[in-house]
């Protein structure tokens, strides 16, 4: 079960507004997240594949790679983008339906998980200083610790 509460949606709204400089409408209905520009009823983005593990304190979630270039999209680094939370992605990942977009990866859930460091909450496998060791991070284990992965995924929304 995902947990896109009103507080989470409001926080994500602020992140998106700060990043893109636009006012958005972000809603969660029928297990689908919908993102649109304020004042527009058309040309929205749907996220129909939400990932429950982004709301759980764990590091053992799967991870695969998405090759944006292969699907005709652009990635700022030109490398396949790690996609935590899934072992495979639908192809194509992004579908255009008459101006409305479906993205079959939970980009906003991932942003929430990473920026709030959800995988660290309540953990007991801490170092002698009470910190969550870097070697236990999902990003370390899956070789994306030193990448601007949130920026890479948010760029896809632009």
Q: Domain locations in the chain?
A: 6-157
3-state DSSP helix/strand/coil % of the chain, to nearest 5: 30, 20, 50
| Predicted local distance difference test score (pLDDT) of residue 51 | 92
Contacts (Cβ under 8 Å, ≥6 apart) of 64: 82, 83, 86, 87, 88, 89
Per-residue pLDDT of the chain (158 residues; tens, 9 = 90+): 567 889 999 999 999 999 999 999 999 988 999 999 998 888 999 999 999 899 887 778 999 999 999 988 888 888 999 999 999 999 999 999 988 999 999 999 999 999 988 887 877 888 899 888 888 889 999 999 999 999 999 998 88
């Amino acid at each position: 079960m995902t947990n896109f509460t009103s507080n989470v949606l409001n926080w994500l709204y602020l992140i998106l507004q700060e990043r893109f400089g636009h006012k958005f409408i972000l809603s969660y209905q029928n297990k689908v997240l919908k993102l649109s520009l304020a004042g527009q009823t058309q040309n929205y983005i749907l996220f129909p594949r939400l990932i429950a593990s982004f709301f759980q304190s764990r590091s053992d979630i799967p991870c695969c790679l998405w090759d944006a270039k292969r699907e005709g999209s652009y990635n700022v680094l030109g490398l396949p983008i790690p996609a935590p939370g899934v072992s495979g992605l639908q192809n194509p990942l992004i579908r255009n339906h008459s101006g409305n977009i479906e993205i079959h990866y939970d980009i906003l859930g991932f942003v929430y998980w990473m920026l709030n460091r959800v995988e660290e909450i309540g953990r007991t496998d801490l170092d002698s200083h009470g910190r969550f060791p870097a070697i236990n991070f999902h990003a370390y284990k899956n070789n994306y610790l030193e990448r601007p992965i949130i920026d890479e995924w948010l760029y896809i929304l632009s």
